[in-house]
Amino acid sequence: MPKSREIHLVQRPTGAPTPENFALVEREVGDAADGQVLVQNLLMSVDPAMRPRLTAGQALDEPMMGGAIGRVVQSRLDGYAAGDLVSHRQGFREYFTSDGKGLNKLSPDPDLPLSVHMHALGGTGFTAYGGLLHIGQLKDGEQVFVSTAAGAVGSVAAQIAKLKGCYVVGSTGADDKAAWLRDEIGLDAVINYKVQPIRQALEEATPKGLDVYFDNVGGDHLEAALRRMNTLGRIPVCGFISGYNSGHSNVGNLSNIIYSRVMLRGFVAPDFMHLWGDFLRDMAGWLKDGKVKYQETVRDGIAAAPAALIGLMAGENSGKMLVKLAE
């Protein structure tokens, strides 16, 4: 009967989250009862979409929810055996029992590290893939801008656009990330928005305007992109990180969408689940061929999870932020 340590949200942040918002709680987890499995988590995801849930959605004094990969260590549930790997939303804890609801069996690709199933070959990569190709209706050779292009979603979106023969501009907030995007990923132009004013830099980087802006930021990035959109351009809106801590994010030139007949569309990955099979095939191939590269920032142990989330909001990560809970 293992002890499990888990992270609770104990108070809601106003502005950026702080360590005081979270607590590390230890509790007994029972053995698997009849019809249950006991799961030990191996790896958990830390992602920007968690921030709005801290304000509304995540219950107080309960374990936080989040994507994770675990291993079944006891099974009294048909269809599951000890040793099976499962992906699920019950991260931020070491162990849990489950009746199988919300568990998805994972058959990891033997030629790739397990962790890629938490980002490029998981929900993060799928968000980029469907957001760009389905919501954004990307066509080969178009003019593309991706914000937070060194992040877990943005880096995949930017690379898919490059694979489709597009001219791709990326923004990021640090010189080392900018160098990675330019030198390793081969983007056509890279903007460090903390050094270059985004509006002017984007104008200079997009002599042929923009057909697609993959938006992770909102706010000033979206305003800058709206000035550059070509006729019938598309803006898949994946995130609005500029507003997550403040709760608002002004956009002053939205009327531009009329003159250029631009579409903005908010989305989440479940909107295009019919593409999951295509995605797994395409992305596994790209990863094995080295055509999609990635970075990971891996923190160690459940106690490090709050700091990982706080650090993510401050841009401390390079690529996907993960917490490793067990081998």
Residue ranges binding a copy of itself (CB under 8 A): 52, 218, 222, 232, 237-240, 243-244, 248-268, 271
Please give the Cα distance from 253 to 298 (Å, whole number).
39
Cβ proximity to a copy of itself: between 37 and 49 the closer is 49
CB of 186 to a copy of itself, least distance (A): 29
Which one, 248 or 274, has the nearer CB to a copy of itself? 248
- State the CB neighbour count (10 A cutoff) for residue 258: 8
The bridge status of strand 167-172 relative to strand 229-237 is unpaired
Q: What is the four-CA torsion angle of 22, 25, 31, 33, rounded to 10 degrees?
A: -50
* Full 3-state SS string of 185-225: HCCCEEEECCCCCHHHHHHHHCCCCEEEEEECCCHHHHHHH
Pairwise CA distance, residues 147 & 76, whole Å? 46
- Pick between residue 141 and residue 252 the one whose CB is nearest to a copy of itself: 252
Tokens of 306: 């709050």
Q: Is the dihedral of CA 292, 277, 121, 242 positive or negative?
A: positive
Q: Kindly report the number of other CB atoms within 10 A of residue 181's CB atom.
A: 27
Of 1 and 56, which has the nearer Cβ to a copy of itself?
56
Residue 248: other Cβ atoms inside 10 A = 9
Q: Which of 160/238 has CB closer to a copy of itself? A: 238
Q: How far is the CB of 262 from a copy of itself (least distance, A)?
A: 5
In the complex, the smallest distance separating the C-beta of residue 184 from a copy of itself, rounded to whole angstroms, is 29
The letter for the amino acid at 92 is F
Burial of 275 (0-12, 13-18, 19+ CB in 10 A): middle
Least Å distance between CB 169 and a copy of itself? 22
**Shortest distance (Å) from residue 246 CB to a copy of itself:** 10
For the beta carbon of residue 123, count every other beta carbon within 10 angstroms.
21
Residue 272 C-beta: closest distance to a copy of itself, Å: 11
Q: Measured between alpha carbons, how far is residue 61 from residues 25, 106, 113 in Å?
A: 10, 30, 34
If the CB atoms of residues 229 and 292 are measured against a copy of itself, the closer one turns out to be: 229
Minimum CB distance to a copy of itself, residue 237 (Å) = 6
| CA distances for 136 relative to 145, 150, 158, angstroms | 12, 19, 13
Using the minimum distance from each CB to a copy of itself, give the nearer residue, 121 or 222: 222
Looking at the Cβ atoms of 41 and 249, the one nearer to a copy of itself is 249
Q: Which is nearer to a copy of itself, 214 or 240 (CB)?
A: 240
- Report the nearest approach of a copy of itself to the CB of residue 68 (Å): 22
Q: How far is the CB of 134 from a copy of itself (least distance, A)?
A: 12
